[in-house]
Amino acid sequence: MVRTKKVRTPLIAGNWKMHNAREQTRQLIGELKPLIDGLSDVEVCVCPPFTVLAVASETIGDAEISLGAQNVFWEEKGAWTSQISADMLLDVGCRYAILGHSETRGRFGKVDDLLAGRLHYFGERDDTINIKARVCLAKGLTPIICCGETIDERQAGKTDDIISSQIRACLDGLTPDQIETLVIAYEPVWAIGTGEVCGSDEANRVCRLIRQTVRDNFGTDAGNGVRILYGGSMNDKNAEELLEQSEIDGGLIGGAALKADSFATICKAASFAAWNFYI
């Protein structure tokens, strides 16, 4: 049996969403560090809330864990109440920033009646994501750009059109070299927080569509180099099957990132999947 390393290093990024205060942050990262110590051929990242980024950075120390933020604003400073700049994130040790998550776009997979009437408060769009991506890349912060379709769009047969349109708009004006360094996360909105998961074949198909869209618009090198994550309810039970797919270069993990053992299991699955096996 021959093992051949894949071209792209898998990335497992844990999106903590609105969870964990300081002590919980110390505990979770403290539990995670020994579980992934010495793990090779995979990059591990945690994306806590803004309020605990500093604590997370201190707790990570010299461990092989990258730090990411859940959003960023495009201005450096000024009268922008509630916003946070790329420079601020870099100062606290961030390497990544999630842009355009379905929840910041107001495209939730499952909502209650009270939230349904307030979705207009979540106003992220493809053009604002594009502006943020430009700023991140200029500052040396790597964007994780999210795309994905709702259940209504999928049932109407619009998945491919929606995904391709989002990718073209979010990457508009970027250079092929810039695109080759960033990360794209496919998150089928209907599979976020619902327990539903795309079949691995379908997830891989959409990730292949994303890669081909990048190739068609920005060239072969950009398409081959960009890492594409799957972000729809990946967990320790289904990660191995998803990560074995040829076009899936890792995962943007939600609920499973809040438990050190579950998150570590996904990281180990990604490390194993970083190698192709030939008989």
Asked about 19 being catalytic, the answer comes back as no
DSSP 245: S
- Contact yes or no for 62/32 (Cβ under 8 A): no
DSSP 51-106: GGHHHHHHHHTTSS-EEEES---SSSSSS-TT---HHHHHHTT--EEEES-HHHHT
Out of 101, 103, 149, 247, the active site residue is 101
A 10 A CB-CB count for 157 gives 8
DSSP 191: G
- Return the structure tokens found at 3: 């093992």
Distance, in Å, from the CA atom of 272 to the CA atom of 225, rounded to the nearest integer, reads 20
DSSP 50: G
Residue type, 6: K
Max alpha carbon distance in the chain (Å)?
61
Out of 43, 180, 187, 247, the active site residue is 187
Asked about 23 being catalytic, the answer comes back as no
Count of residues in the chain: 279
**Run of H or E including 116:** helix 113-116
Distance, in Å, from the CA atom of 251 to the CA atom of 256, rounded to the nearest integer, reads 11
Q: Is 211 exposed, middle or buried (0-12, 13-18, 19+ CB in 10 A)?
A: buried
- Return the structure tokens found at 9: 């290093």
Q: How many helices (H) and strands (E) are present in the chain, helices listed first?
A: 13, 10
Catalytic positions are 101, 187
